[in-house]
Copies of this chain bind each other. A is one copy, B any other.
Amino acid sequence: MSHFWINEKKVFYEDEGSGKPIVLLNGIMMSTRSWAPFVDTFKANNRLIRVDFFDQGQTDKLLGATYTHQIQVDLLKSLFDHLKLEQASIVGISYGGEIAIQFAIQHKSKVDRLVLFNTAAYTNPWLKDIGRAWMAAGKTRDGEAYYNTAIPVIYSPLFYETNQDWMQNRRKVLVPVFSNALFLDQMERLTQSSESYDVRNTISTIEAETLIVSAEEDYLTPVDNQSYVAKAIKNSHWVKIPGAGHASMYEKPLLFSTLCLGFINAKDTKYTI
């Protein structure tokens, strides 16, 4: 458990293991703790760095603030500086993938390899309105309503149905959190910070070798969106996970490890076939 400060705001991170460094970036509703199931596997051969963005987990809240993704991109840059990280591979999912893309555009030399799970190149009007539904559900302070609005859509119908006990437990854990005004306000600020996200003009400047992972039942950043990212990034490699939804790392955890570690640790990226 470590931290550093940005303008009197505490930023929480975890830095474990050794080897090629991997920075793992959270989805919007996640925190460093969400990755607990993966830590052992990731730190077996790598240095694993996790961080809570502003308004996530143990990093400070930005009460009353309005901000864009840039504040998180800068937080990430501060983390690299604080750790004196010359270069690292970055894995991001969804919100975290979007921050990763922007970091890779702005700080090219800092990024070794890039792994993007369930990540889009911009917040389209459709997703913007879905975000607004989440924010409206948050305003009610009704944890059940927020859960039903924001959670089913991030899982595939099949996973949701075949893991009903697990889902029931998620509900039990999350409804109190989703009834908490402080948390809901964090979620609102994070959601709002994504409204203006659009890297379509700059994404093609990314130079890092990039792995794009799409889940076929992702109904927030559908395959079609990923196809755009895969085409826009020149050194990109694209795989699809059948039968998984937006929270793909929970639905297919071994594939998450396989793809991240396999891609980042592969000795060569270019092959003369």
Q: A130-B152, A149-B133, A224-B157 are in contact. Are A266 and B271 (CB under 8 A)?
A: no
Would you call A239 and B241 a contact (CB within 8 A)?
A: yes
Instruction: Report yes or no: B149 in contact with A136, Cβ–Cβ below 8 A.
Output: yes
Q: Is A219 an interface residue (CB 8 A)?
A: yes
The A101-158 residues at the B interface (CB cut-off 8 A) are 124-127, 129-130, 132-133, 136-137, 140, 142, 144-145, 147-149, 151-153, 155-158
Instruction: Let me know if A225 is at the binding interface, CB within 8 A.
Output: yes
Closest to A213 in B: B239
Residues on B with C-beta less than 8 A from A219 are 153, 219, 222
Interface size bucket, A side?
35 or more
Is the C-beta of A64 less than 8 angstroms from some C-beta in chain B? no
Q: In the assembly, what is the distance between CA of A254 and CA of B238, in Å?
A: 10
Identical subunits present: 4
Q: Are B45 and A265 in contact (CB under 8 A)?
A: yes
Q: Which of B125, B148, B158, B240 has a CB less than 8 Å from the CB of A129?
A: B148
Is there contact, CB below 8 Å, between A271 and B255? no
Given A40-B267, A149-B149, A268-B40: A258 in contact with B255 (beta carbons within 8 A): no
A residues whose Cβ falls under 8 Å from a Cβ of B = 37-38, 40-41, 44-45, 124-127, 129-130, 132-133, 136-137, 140, 142, 144-145, 147-149, 151-153, 155-158, 160-161, 164, 166-167, 209, 211, 216-217, 219, 222, 224-225, 227, 230, 237-243, 250, 252-255, 257-263, 265-273
